[in-house]
Amino acid sequence: MTKALPVYFNHDGGVDDLVSLFLLLQMEQVDLIGVSVIDADCYVEPAVSASRKIIDRYGRAELKGLEVARSNSRGKNPFPKDWRMHAFYVDALPLLNERSDVVTKEAAKPAHLDLIEKVSKCPEKATLLFTGPLTDLARALDADPSIEAKIEKLYWMGGTFLPDGNVHEPEHDGTAEWNAFWDPEAAKRVWDSGIKIEMVALESTNKVPLTVDTRKEWAQLRRFEGIDFLGQCYATVPPLVHFATNSTYYLWDVLTTAIIGKPELVSSHEVACDVLADGPSQGRTIPSEGGRIVTVVDDVDPEAFFRYLTDLARGADR
């Protein structure tokens, strides 16, 4: 087996963020060096709690000592409360609450400082996985610019070059993706760094909605605990039925995470681009001749993706 890839994971506690944590723990080729949770598309307390319980239940034995850091970052444009509630439902799942004690500890430092500590300590360059806004990374870069040299690459779920983003809010023109919109200045800060960025944009995530058929398949396989966990988590969010609405759920972050384990699931191209930090298009990622180069994941084989996801989850059975 080739050497495991050191990965630091920062997420924002949505259902697909928490499922992503579960899946990362199943990937043999990933060495999870740190986890942190930002108060964006979640309430951070249940999201930290659920993360600790997921590591307890599904983390391999050698991950003992892995901690979960809580972010103290605040964004500019808050997420809708209904979406932020999802972390409470996952945290309360009986599957995660069989044991009364939680072994995985909360880290001493806030997320951005935890990121600096864990990445600095890592003997090799670390890979970053961000499935929420980039605020903690932007703050870490401001606090200690030297960590940039210790970062192999950033995988980020966020942004889009499509005419329609997924932000439908007053005073916005709808061109942005939510993780970029929550803290556009942070995205801009990361753009202005030299970090290699693989951007898993709505171009690809739009192709992996949660569907009723997928739910039915998981229900048939619920004798495997990991797949039951997927089914239970995704029971709390609305699938695509007749047409996409503002609350339709996609496997945004799960696709981003899956690419670390199986890059051949997707295709991508390079774009010179920038992020708009304010105004009615704030958070929009936009092609720009003088902009920095980003690798944009633009397509996915949905069938292969769902198969990989189901196989990984099935492996979680003990």
Rounded Cα distance between 277 and 25, Å, is 34
| Contact yes or no for 6/31 (Cβ under 8 A) | yes
Q: Which is nearer to Ca ion, 38 or 276 (CB)?
A: 38
Rounded Cα distance between 181 and 71, Å, is 18
The stretch among 46-54, 59-67, 109-117, 176-184 that binds ligand AGV (CB under 6 A) is 176-184
Task: Kindly identify the residues of this chain, within the stretch 142-171, that bind ligand AGV according to CB under 6 A.
Answer: 157, 166
The stretch among 7-15, 72-80, 234-242, 297-305 that binds Ca ion (CB under 5 A) is 7-15
Q: How far is the CB of 129 from ligand AGV (least distance, A)?
A: 11
Spell out, one character per residue from 15 to 54, where the chain touches Ca ion: x when CB under 5 A holds, - when not.
Answer: --x-------------------------------------
Q: Which is nearer to ligand AGV, 122 or 294 (CB)?
A: 294
Work out which of 132, 133, 165, 184 binds Ca ion, going by CB under 5 A. Answer: 132
Contact residues for 27 (Cβ-Cβ < 8 A; gap 6+): 260, 261, 312
Rounded Cα distance between 35 and 26, Å, is 15
Among ligand AGV, Ca ion, none, partner that 9 touches (CB below 5 to 8 angstroms by kind): none
What value does the CA radius of gyration of the chain take, rounded to a whole number of Å? Answer: 18
Question: How many residues lie near ligand AGV (CB under 6 A)?
Answer: 16
Phi and psi at 130, nearest 5°, equal -120, 120
Rounded Cα distance between 107 and 277, Å, is 31
Q: Is 41 in the site for ligand AGV (CB under 6 A)?
A: yes
Instruction: Give CA 57 to chain center in angstroms.
Output: 20
Work out which of 7, 16, 96, 218 binds ligand AGV, going by CB under 6 A. Answer: 16
Q: Which is nearer to ligand AGV, 179 or 214 (CB)?
A: 179
Rounded Cα distance between 131 and 11, Å, is 5
Half-sphere exposure of 159 (CA within 13 A, CB side): 30
Q: Which is nearer to Ca ion, 14 or 226 (CB)?
A: 14
Rounded Cα distance between 308 and 301, Å, is 11
Q: Is 133 in the site for Ca ion (CB under 5 A)?
A: no
Q: How far is the CB of 252 from Ca ion (least distance, A)?
A: 7
Work out which of 22, 83, 156, 308 binds ligand AGV, going by CB under 6 A. Answer: 83
Q: Which is nearer to Ca ion, 122 or 187 (CB)?
A: 187
Q: Is 39 in the site for ligand AGV (CB under 6 A)?
A: no
Residue 31's nearest CA partner among 117, 103, 118, 137 is 118
Rounded Cα distance between 281 and 295, Å, is 22
Sign of the dihedral defined by the CA atoms of residues 74, 80, 82, 83, in that order: negative
Q: How far is the CB of 280 from ligand AGV (least distance, A)?
A: 18
Query: By the criterion CB under 6 A, which residues form the site for ligand AGV?
Result: 14, 16-17, 41, 83, 131-132, 157, 166, 177-179, 247, 249, 252-253
Q: By the criterion CB under 5 A, which residues form the site for Ca ion?
A: 12, 14, 17, 131-132, 253
